[in-house]
A and B are shown apart, each in its own frame.
Chain A
């Protein structure tokens, strides 16, 4: 399982210099987290693979636009997020912002959800039932453990919106996990 590497260890500057080995390291590090995020949003294997490839290509082309190397991770997920939205818009499946959202303040602590083996299938089902905006925020939180500010930057949404989405998604999950079997 790929571990969340320290940002300082990532060879972003070498990749910026055009070293293919550095790109290989970066892509290897992010390929599975990106795929998980993209797949759980689009729910299609081929589309997920295509979107990961498109994200890699776009990242290689536009790395010059990244100002801070430390933000490479959120920048890469931001590209993937935009690719998902583009795909939805092209297919006219739904608009990402159709669901009404509240911008109330919530204080969710850095709690770790733990899921029993028998609950895994239910967890996945519930994840799929969540509206895409909530699912997106929750996935970013789970997959890369992004901070709320980073999720706000990736999804291009206000911090309050991200907080409320994460709060509702987590509440729904907790409800599932607390239900007696």
Chain B
């Protein structure tokens, strides 16, 4: 005489090697950090990492050629900018401004100021006429006269 439990277990005992293999696999691949409560820094890091990976997958990777082209252009612009800055600083360092050139520069600035001042003011001829409507009675008097 057997209990139902005995019958069931005996019938399925043949599956034990497979179950052992499954157990070993799960325990081997088991990362014990999964069960521990994650710290806030870990959550933040994983969130940032996950977000950046998603951003990379959805935004950057599908248009990678365009992004790389843009990156090259930006690098070129940066290089040119840096090179020009260096050259200008070298030139400035080399030559101290003489008194004559300063005078001419001031004159030019004065002239420019005058020019812009003139333009900013509207011409007398172009002023719009202000039309003041006259009362109808006055108009009829004029006609009569």
B interface secondary structure, majority: helix
Give the distance in Å from the alpha carbon of A53 to the alpha carbon of B24 in the complex: 10
User: In chain A between 26 and 85, which residues have their CB closer than 8 angstroms to a CB of chain B?
Assistant: 27-28, 31-33, 35-36, 39-40, 45, 48-49, 52-53, 56-57, 60-61, 63-64
Task: Say if the beta carbon of A129 comes within 8 Å of chain B.
Answer: no
Least Cβ distance of A25 to chain B in Å? 10
Q: Which residues of A sit under 8 angstroms from B7, Cβ to Cβ?
A: 115, 120, 123-124
Contact partner of B33 among A18, A23, A24, A173, CB < 8 A?
A: A18
Q: Which residues of A sit under 8 angstroms from B3, Cβ to Cβ?
A: 112-115, 142
Least Cβ distance of B66 to chain A in Å? 40
Q: Which of chain B's residues has its CB closest to A113's CB?
A: B4
Q: Which residues of A sit under 8 angstroms from B13, Cβ to Cβ?
A: 32
Least Cβ distance of B25 to chain A in Å? 8
- Interface residues of A, Cβ cutoff 8 Å to B: 1-2, 15-20, 23-24, 27-28, 31-33, 35-36, 39-40, 45, 48-49, 52-53, 56-57, 60-61, 63-64, 112-117, 120, 123-124, 139, 142-143, 145, 173
Other A-B pairs beyond A23-B26, A64-B36, 8, CB < 8 Å: A18-B35, A31-B16, A49-B18, A53-B25, A61-B34, A115-B3, A142-B3, A173-B4
- Interface residues of B, Cβ cutoff 8 Å to A: 1-13, 15-16, 18-20, 22-27, 30, 32-37
